[in-house]
């Protein structure tokens, strides 16, 4: 009965995570710990194992749809790896618990702001700090001819914020997907379908390396994670079929805002669990 319940919850979590580009790990780990009694290490290992086929399936769909920006993914992921190492090192020197609390509340606030109706006010795409930064040296224009999309990026800015997301991942013990996706959409003005697809492509790499690490540590118990692996694979398939059927999702920012709100709650649950048992987790 427990395996069946995990299976159905996993499908919902993976489907939603696929649509908004987060993957779903930030939601699933606390669920496994709180409602199903998984210890932290096994919950992480199971979720990492499930994210590997799910992110791969999603990326296959996105590859066929030609919505992955490999250059942006590389500019974000390589500095993020360096930032993750630095963030893990800084844990010994900074008040991590307080910073995590502030970060979680900030993520929740941003999520609420994205969900709430926006006031109609005159704006121009040719104003603001990010617009000016996208026009300094190392700026280039990305074109997606299949989707008839174009957007201006600055390689230095993208790499810098990728590094920052990595530092947060290492410092706070979180995955970078739910930071990188809204960052690409709101700061870089990358179209939502490109941003979510690119984020899931990055997740292929991060989930695989995370899975290998936890497998070697003995945190992947096949008897416990197989239902979740099957569920996440089906959820990724369902999420991509939903996106394909709906075409361009006009309410994508609202869905991402909801995802940020739930992710912030997930980080708060992480804090509560860490305070109780004395360890943290990364997902």
How is the chain split into domains, by residue range? 2-277
Instruction: Collapse the DSSP code of 186 into the 3-class scheme (helix H, G, I; strand E, B; otherwise coil) and give the result.
Output: helix
Of 266, 276, 278, 279, residue with least CA distance to 47: 266
* Whole-number pLDDT of residue 123: 47
- Residue holding tokens 């179209």? 191
* Whole-number pLDDT of residue 126: 52
| d(C-alpha 62, C-alpha 197), whole Å | 6
Q: Give the residue ranges of DSSP H helices in 173-221.
A: 177-182, 192-216
- Residue holding tokens 């410092």? 171
* Whole-number pLDDT of residue 124: 47
Structure tokens, 32: 């496994």
Ramachandran class of 58: left when φ > 0, alpha when ψ lies in -120 to 50, beta otherwise: alpha
* Whole-number pLDDT of residue 238: 95
Ramachandran class of 41: left when φ > 0, alpha when ψ lies in -120 to 50, beta otherwise: alpha
| d(C-alpha 242, C-alpha 222), whole Å | 29
| d(C-alpha 237, C-alpha 230), whole Å | 11
* Whole-number pLDDT of residue 1: 80
pLDDT tens series, the chain, 283 aa: 889 999 999 999 999 999 999 888 888 888 898 889 888 889 888 998 999 999 999 999 999 999 999 999 999 999 988 988 898 788 778 887 888 888 888 889 988 988 887 665 544 445 555 555 555 666 888 989 888 889 888 888 899 988 988 888 777 666 667 788 888 888 888 998 899 999 999 999 888 888 998 899 899 999 889 999 999 999 999 999 988 887 666 678 888 999 999 988 888 887 787 676 655 455 5
* Whole-number pLDDT of residue 226: 93
Cα–chain center distance at 203: 8
| d(C-alpha 17, C-alpha 240), whole Å | 10
* Whole-number pLDDT of residue 214: 87
- Rounded to the nearest 5°, which phi and psi values hold at 142? -100, 135
Q: Which is it for the CA torsion 118, 107, 257, 35, positive or negative?
A: negative
* Whole-number pLDDT of residue 116: 83
* Whole-number pLDDT of residue 249: 64
Q: How many CB atoms lie within 10 A of CB 6?
A: 23
Q: Give the residue ranges of DSSP H helices in the chain.
A: 2-20, 25-36, 40-65, 70-90, 96-115, 129-133, 155-172, 177-182, 192-216, 222-246, 252-277
Structure tokens, 164: 């920052």
**8, 28 in Cβ contact below 8 A?**
no
């Amino acid at each position: 009965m427990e395996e069946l319940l995990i299976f159905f919850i996993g499908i919902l979590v993976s489907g939603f995570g696929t649509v908004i580009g987060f993957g779903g790990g930030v939601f699933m780990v606390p669920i496994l710990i709180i409602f199903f009694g998984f210890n932290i290490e096994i919950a992480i290992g199971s979720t990492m194992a499930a994210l590997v086929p799910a992110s791969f399936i999603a990326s296959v769909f996105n590859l066929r749809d030609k919505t992955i920006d490999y250059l942006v993914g590389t500019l974000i992921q390589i500095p993020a790896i360096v930032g993750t190492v630095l963030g893990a090192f800084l844990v010994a020197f900074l008040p991590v618990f307080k910073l995590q609390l502030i970060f979680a509340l900030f993520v929740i606030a941003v999520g609420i702001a994205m969900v709430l109706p926006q006031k109609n006010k005159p704006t121009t795409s040719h104003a603001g700090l990010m617009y000016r930064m996208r026009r300094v040296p190392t700026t280039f224009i990305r074109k997606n001819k299949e989707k008839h999309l174009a957007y201006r990026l600055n390689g230095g800015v993208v790499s810098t914020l990728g590094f920052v997301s990595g530092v947060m991942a290492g410092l706070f013990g979180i995955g970078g997907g739910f930071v990188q996706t809204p960052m690409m959409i709101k700061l870089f003005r990358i179209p939502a379908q490109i941003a979510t697809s690119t984020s899931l492509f990055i997740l292929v790499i991060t989930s695989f390396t995370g899975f290998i690490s936890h497998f070697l540590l003995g945190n992947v118990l096949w008897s416990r994670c197989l239902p979740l692996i099957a569920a996440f694979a089906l959820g990724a398939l369902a999420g991509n079929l939903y996106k394909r059927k709906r075409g361009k999702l006009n309410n994508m920012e609202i869905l991402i805002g909801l995802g940020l709100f739930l992710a912030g709650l997930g980080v708060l649950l992480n804090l509560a669990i860490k305070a109780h048992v004395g360890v943290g987790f990364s997902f």
